[in-house]
């Protein structure tokens, strides 16, 4: 009986581990996002992209990091990548009005530019 209780205790610890890991991953990803913001404000967009890509590698569920990455891709003229990143951000956080507004502006400008070049 005590082995079974011990096994259940170990299982409970294993089940409790993912949130601790998730918290650590989010903390590391936030550090990358914050650094990315600081370098983007200095005009170092390629470094910002590197940092935000790192953030979404660490925590793929971090919608704000995907949004920032989309903005950076858009700034650098990588419009397909920007659209993909915005869509990932919205899929992760569909009720986030900030992300929705950024994506809507992106689509409006990008779609208008595409219409103008096809005329």
Per residue of the chain (119 residues), give pLDDT as tens: 444 433 333 333 334 444 566 789 999 999 999 999 999 999 999 999 999 999 999 999 999 999 999 999 999 999 999 999 999 999 999 999 999 999 999 999 888 777 766 65
This prediction has a pTM of: 0.78
- Residues 52 and 72: beta-carbon distance below 8 Å: yes
Burial level of 69, CB count in 10 A (0-12/13-18/19+)?
buried
Half-sphere exposure (Cβ direction) of 55: Cα atoms closer than 13 Å: 28
**Residue 53 gets which letter from DSSP?**
H
Q: What separation in angstroms does the CA of 112 have from each of 4, 5, 61, 74, 77?
A: 65, 64, 31, 15, 15
3-class DSSP state of 67: helix
pLDDT of residue 80: 95
How many other C-beta atoms lie within 10 A of the C-beta of residue 113? 11
């Amino acid at each position: 009986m005590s082995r079974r209780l011990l096994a259940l205790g170990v299982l409970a610890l294993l089940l409790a581990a993912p949130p601790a890991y998730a918290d650590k991953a989010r903390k590391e990803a936030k550090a990358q996002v914050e650094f990315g913001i600081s370098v983007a404000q200095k005009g170092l967009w390629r470094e910002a992209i590197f940092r935000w890509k790192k953030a979404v590698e660490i925590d793929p569920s971090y919608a704000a990091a995907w949004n920032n990455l989309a903005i950076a891709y858009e700034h650098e003229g990588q419009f397909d990548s920007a659209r993909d990143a915005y869509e990932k951000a919205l899929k992760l956080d569909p009720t986030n009005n900030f992300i929705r507004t950024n994506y809507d502006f992106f689509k409006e400008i990008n779609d208008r530019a595409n219409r103008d070049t096809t005329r």
